[in-house]
Amino acid sequence: MPDSSFPPSSEGHPLQPLLQRVLNWQPEQHALWVRLLVALAITAILGWTRMALAPAESGGRFVTLTLAVALSTLYGGFHAGMFSTALGMSVIHLFLPKPYSNEAFENLTEAFWLTLWHLVTQIVVVGSIALMQRHHRELREATEQIQRSKQQLEDTFERSATGMAHSHIAGGWIRVNQTYCDIVGYTKAEMQAMHYRDFTHPDDLWMDELQLQRTLNNEISHYSFEKRYIHRQGHVVWVHLTISLVREASGEPDYLIAVVQDITARKNTEQALRTSEQLLRQAHELAGLASWQADVTSTRFTTLAGSHQVLGLPSAEFTGEQLLALTHPEDLNRAVNLWTLALQGKADYQLEYRLLFGGEERWFSVRAEFERDAQGRAVRALGVTRDVTERKHSEMEIQRLNASLEQRIQARTEALKAAYDELESYSYAVAHDLRSPLRIINGFAQALQEDMPGLAGESLSHLQRIMAASKKMGELIDGLLTLSQFSRGELQRQPVNLSAIATRLLGEFAGAEPQRWVRWEIDRGLQVMADPTLVEALMQNLLHNAWKYTARTPNALIRVGTEDVQGQRFFTVSDNGAGFDMARAAKLFQPFQRLHMPNEFSGIGIGLATSLRIVQRHGGELKASAVPGEGAIFSFSLSARPAG
């Protein structure tokens, strides 16, 4: 009910605003001299009014000035009131009666007691008013503080970054802030019509209700846990919920305070971290790796994401001393020296070494990088370790097999070389020894023809066939000798100008057959490091083939140039002559094998076989391509090194 000392409202009584202003007046807001001046003015005005309205002898001389004291105190406080009291007493004694400046009381005893009573009365009035103003000021300040505190609490509730709500024990909302509404996506009006069960994830309701019941049973005063809300748009929102129970003075439950913090981002981060750790663990398992970090100061090594289990290591952490104790004695100095150089930034830490676990020797490949401070000192190492025991065992077995294989290959090569040399010697000896009986056969045949000029008919035909066969056999023997010659001897590499050789040979061919018209194109500056004699024979064979197989081509063209194939430089000899069928190219470089009939083009089939041996002796490659009736291209290299 309203206070009966005041009108009910400013609208119900016109004096309430004035009274409120009087009550809220603060004398200390004005300077002391201003308050004293106002007190002087009030006292003077009321004193003059008293003298103007009634003579001093009429009585009540103290009443008027008491009013001045009260008004001065109300305006100026205690000091102004006492100043007005002093002025009033002076006015009463000196200015109210006539003649002025004379004492108003003839009886000094009466004057003393009246003045004393007036002074006491004024002190009580001034003190009461000043005390009332002080109490009212303190009350006003307390009220303002309460209002500020209330507003601060209101702002804390409404503007909090966490959701806050007050709710009845049954679950209905008393009040809820906007943050709480934003977390679940509902408006305040919608929230007021809902129960917390309406947006709590079904799987989390039992925990919430269990903890609430424990709180109501006075087992706990509050509880906190993580739970899920179903957002208005359907997605899950993770929150950290804290519930506190407020009880009445009697101890009965009154209402609940709920504080809700949205932790969805944190839960997503945790889930992403778990996923990342799982993927990292799977990657470690698939790659057979263990990742680790090391504190350089304490020399303590720690594996990450449980990756030590991938390698079957006995522990996730090792001290530097423990690792040194596990290191194979033969690898210890190498590992320590490399670690020291890597700490100083003078080397990369990457090595393979052995560790001993329970007497078992295992190989590990280790790589590490270092984090450094502003002064460049290493403070932390990050690395990966792979168990390469199986690979190292395989490599050692391969090395053992390779060593054994190299020995067998060397022995076999020596045997093959001996057999080859023997075969070459045999071929040379046979070819050389066949020359003598062949010359005898051919000589007696010619002598017989000369001694019997009348020989004719079938007998002459037989004699001529003997002579032709002996000539053919001579050519074959020469071919064998040539092939044997180019397969033996030491290779002498010197600078050779292929352009000059090709120009000279084609000029000789043209001089030998002046009736033929052949155009040739030779690239300039074709230089190669090779054996001059063998290269001369190689170019002789290839260019002679090109000259021979363009004999029936009207506009014959022979070209000598180069081409690069996969970084390898090849020299080419091409023509637009008869060509050949690539289906029969397998016989092309075999001795005494020909792709054309003898009546088409002469030859015994030894030139390309000889060319192949020359190229192979230089460590190169000889290949051919052709189209029947359109010509052929022979490409050769004289070194296995890339072009450049």
Torsion of CA 108, 111, 112, 114, to 10 degrees: 160
Mean pLDDT of 57-64: 55
- Is beta strand 557-565 parallel, antiparallel or unpaired with respect to 519-522? parallel
**Which pLDDT tens digit goes with each residue over 151-160?**
877 777 887 7
SS (H, E, C) 410-460: HHHHHHHHHHHHHHHHHHHHHHHHHHHHHHHHHHHHHHHHHHCCCCCCHHH
Mean pLDDT of 600-609: 59
DSSP H helical ranges for 160-199: 178-184, 188-192
- Is beta strand 163-168 parallel, antiparallel or unpaired with respect to 253-262? antiparallel
Mean pLDDT of 413-438: 65
How confident is the model at residue 37, as a pLDDT? 87
Mean pLDDT of 100-119: 60
Taking the C-alpha atoms of residue 280 and residue 306, their distance in angstroms, rounded to an integer, is 10
The CA R_g of the chain, rounded to the nearest whole Å, is 62
Place of tokens 């004393």: 116
Taking the C-alpha atoms of residue 262 and residue 163, their distance in angstroms, rounded to an integer, is 8
* 108: confidence class by pLDDT, cuts 50, 70, 90: low
Q: Cβ(82)–Cβ(126) under 8 Å?
A: yes
Taking the C-alpha atoms of residue 634 and residue 620, their distance in angstroms, rounded to an integer, is 13
**Residue type, position 606, single letter:** I
CB burial readout 591-618, b (16+ within 10 A) else e:
beebbeeeeebebebbbbbbbbbbbebb
* Three-class SS state of 136: helix
Pick from 555, 493, 563: nearest CA to 520: 555
Domains detected in the chain: 16-150 (no CATH), 160-262 (3.30.450.20), 299-387 (3.30.450.20), 402-476 (no CATH), 489-637 (3.30.565.10)
Beta bridge partners of 529: 495
pLDDT at 599 over 60: no
Taking the C-alpha atoms of residue 119 and residue 113, their distance in angstroms, rounded to an integer, is 10
Taking the C-alpha atoms of residue 248 and residue 506, their distance in angstroms, rounded to an integer, is 124
**3-class SS shares of the chain: helix, strand, coil, % to 5:** 55, 20, 25
What's phi and psi for 186, nearest 5 deg? -105, 155
Mean pLDDT of 421-450: 67
* Three-class SS state of 61: helix
522: number of CA atoms within 13 Å, CB side? 18
Query: Could you give the angle at the alpha carbon of 153 between the alpha carbons of 147 and 156, nearest 5°?
Result: 140
**Which pLDDT tens digit goes with each residue over 276-305?**
777 766 665 665 677 888 888 888 888 876
Place of tokens 């004035």: 18
Query: Could you give the angle at the alpha carbon of 38 between the alpha carbons of 33 and 43, nearest 5°?
Result: 125
**Which pLDDT tens digit goes with each residue over 374-406?**
888 888 888 888 888 888 888 888 888 888 888
**Residue type, position 188, single letter:** K
The token pair that represents 344 in the structure block: 């100083």
The chain-wide mean pLDDT, for the chain, equals 78
Taking the C-alpha atoms of residue 580 and residue 588, their distance in angstroms, rounded to an integer, is 10
CB burial readout 267-294, b (16+ within 10 A) else e:
beeeeeeeeeeeebbeebeeeebbbbeb
Would the pTM count as exceeding 0.85? no
pLDDT at 99 over 60: no
Torsion of CA 275, 279, 281, 285, to 10 degrees: 160
pLDDT at 136 over 70: yes
Q: Measure Cα distances from 135 to 17, 69, 130, 132 in Å.
A: 20, 20, 9, 5
* 240: confidence class by pLDDT, cuts 50, 70, 90: very high
How confident is the model at residue 421, as a pLDDT? 65
pLDDT at 630 over 60: yes
Taking the C-alpha atoms of residue 384 and residue 366, their distance in angstroms, rounded to an integer, is 6
What's phi and psi for 580, nearest 5 deg? -160, 170
* 3: confidence class by pLDDT, cuts 50, 70, 90: very low
